[in-house]
Amino acid sequence: MTTVIRTEDVWKTYSLGSPRQVDAVKGASIEIPKGVITGIGGPSGSGKTTLLSLIGLLTKPSKGKVFIEDKELSALSEVFRTRFRRERIGFIFQAQYLIPQLTATENVAIPKLCTDTSRGEAERLAREKLSGLGLGHRLDFRVAELSGGEQQRVSIARSLMNSPEILIADEPSSSIEEALTKDLLATLRDMVDRDELTVIVASHDPLVLGWCDRLYTMRNGEIMTQ
């Protein structure tokens, strides 16, 4: 099995001004294999979101290394990390950061507008992704007019716009009911099987964790089990 992401004794310390500091992640060494779904469980405050932001190149470790396909990305410049992140990684966050006044299509088109794609082409692709997630009848609705589960799917469609190889999801089921969580999991499973997408998901939800192929559990910033 190919390893896509590997962390080596990674630490993240937040300094809140001396003497207060929080070791949010303490010496995590994990391996994320390609084309499977890896779950990260653990209680609130145990470091799951922080670990995802290290793996997703959103933040640099205080100590230790993050490798993607054997390149040590934790050591590279912010410009390179940003480009890598934009081209290869998709994110589904707890807070969805959608723009309520824009339509579903306009929200989903945004990541493509940051590349040199034309607006027409970006919106065509956005409609395709939204329709694939069962939102073909809501393309021109403003996000403010959509239900929580529909907004969640808009956010997923947006995370897929640049056809990422790695998808990082933080509590993807937190704002949707069980039936929609099952739909979401089935959609992700299809993409993993069809496109060899690599998914990393942090969650409290036993339904989500039970459906992962592999599981890490965090406690107090440390990885407990594999």
Ligand X SMILES: Nc1ncnc2c1ncn2[C@@H]1O[C@H](COP(=O)(O)OP(=O)(O)OP(=O)(O)O)[C@@H](O)[C@H]1O
Contact residues for ligand X, defined by CB under 6 A: 14, 16, 22, 24, 42, 44-50
Closer to ligand X at the Cβ: 43 or 100? Answer: 43
CB of 10 to ligand X, least distance (A): 13
CA angle 167, 31, 154 (to 5 degrees): 10
49 belongs to the binding site for Mg ion (CB under 5 A): yes
Selection from Mg ion, ligand X, none that 172 binds (CB < 5 to 8 A by kind) is: none
Helix/strand/coil (H, E, C) string of 97-133? CCCCCCEHHHHHHHHHHCCCCCHHHHHHHHHHHHHHC
Distance CA 72, CA 25 (A): 19
173 belongs to the binding site for Mg ion (CB under 5 A): no
Closer to Mg ion at the Cβ: 143 or 202? Answer: 202
Selection from ligand X, Mg ion, none that 50 binds (CB < 5 to 8 A by kind) is: ligand X
Closest residue by Cα to residue 97 from 112, 86, 108, 81:
108
Q: Provide the residue type at 167 as one letter.
A: L
Closer to ligand X at the Cβ: 49 or 103? Answer: 49
Q: Name the site residues for Mg ion (rule: CB under 5 A).
A: 48-49
